[in-house]
A and B are shown apart, each in its own frame.
Chain A
Amino acid sequence: MTRQQFIEQVKGTQAGFRRFLTALCCGDTQSADDLAQEAYIRAYLAFGKGDRPDNFKAWLYRIGYNLFLNCQRSEKLSVDPASLLGIAAEQRADDTFRYQHLYTALDSLPPKERMSVLLYYMEGYSTKEIAAITETTDEAVRQHLARGRRHLRNLL
Chain B
Amino acid sequence: MRENDKDTATQDDELKILFDNFEPLISSDERFIMHLQQRLDTIDLLHREIAAVRRRNRRAVGLAALAGFVAGVLTCLLLPSLISFITNSALQGPVLSLIPSGSVMILWLLPAAAALSASLGIYNLISRAAY
A residues adjacent to B (C-beta < 8 A): 3, 6-7, 10-11, 14-15, 18-19, 22-23, 27, 29, 32-33, 36-37, 40-41, 44-45, 48, 85-87, 91-92, 94-95, 99, 102, 117-118, 121-122, 149, 152-153, 156
Which residues between 22 and 45 of chain B lie within 8 Å of chain A, taking CB atoms? 22-29, 31-33, 35-37, 39-40, 43-44
Docked CA distance A153–B7 (Å): 11
Is the CB–CB distance between A37 and B22 below 8 Å? no
**Interface residue SS majority, chain B:** helix
How many interface residues does B have (CB within 8 Å)?
26
Is the CB–CB distance between A122 and B36 below 8 Å? no
Docked CA distance A156–B40 (Å): 41
Residues from chain B with a CB closer than 8 A to the CB of A14 are 29, 32-33
**Closest CB of chain B to A13's CB: distance in Å?**
11
Some 27 contacts from A to B, beta carbons below 8 A apart, are: A3-B40, A6-B40, A7-B33, A7-B37, A11-B29, A14-B29, A14-B33, A18-B32, A19-B24, A27-B24, A29-B25, A33-B26, A44-B40, A85-B26, A85-B27, A91-B25, A92-B25, A95-B24, A117-B15, A118-B19, A121-B12, A121-B15, A122-B22, A149-B8, A149-B15, A152-B15, A156-B18
User: Quick check: is B54 within 8 A (CB to CB) of the other chain?
Assistant: no
B residues adjacent to A (C-beta < 8 A): 8, 11-12, 15-16, 18-19, 22-29, 31-33, 35-37, 39-40, 43-44, 47
Among B16, B25, B27, B47, find the residue whose CB has the most chain A CB atoms closer than 10 A.
B25
Docked CA distance A18–B107 (Å): 73
Known: A102-B18, A156-B18. A86 touches B33 (CB 8 A): no
Is the CB–CB distance between B8 and A102 below 8 Å? no
**Closest CB of chain B to A147's CB: distance in Å?**
13
Q: Which residue of B lies closest to A153 (CB)?
A: B11
Is the CB–CB distance between B16 and A121 below 8 Å? yes
Docked CA distance A29–B22 (Å): 14
**Closest CB of chain A to B1's CB: distance in Å?**
15
Among the listed B11, B27, B40, which residue makes an inter-chain contact with A29, where contact means beta carbons less than 8 Å apart? B27
Is the CB–CB distance between A10 and B33 below 8 Å? yes
Is the CB–CB distance between B22 and A19 below 8 Å? yes
Is the CB–CB distance between B15 and A10 below 8 Å? no
Is the CB–CB distance between A86 and B25 below 8 Å? no
Residues from chain A with a CB closer than 8 A to the CB of B16 are 121
Known: A18-B26, A44-B40, A92-B25. A121 touches B33 (CB 8 A): no
Docked CA distance A86–B47 (Å): 32
Is the CB–CB distance between B19 and A121 below 8 Å? yes
**Closest CB of chain A to B57's CB: distance in Å?**
20
Docked CA distance A19–B29 (Å): 11
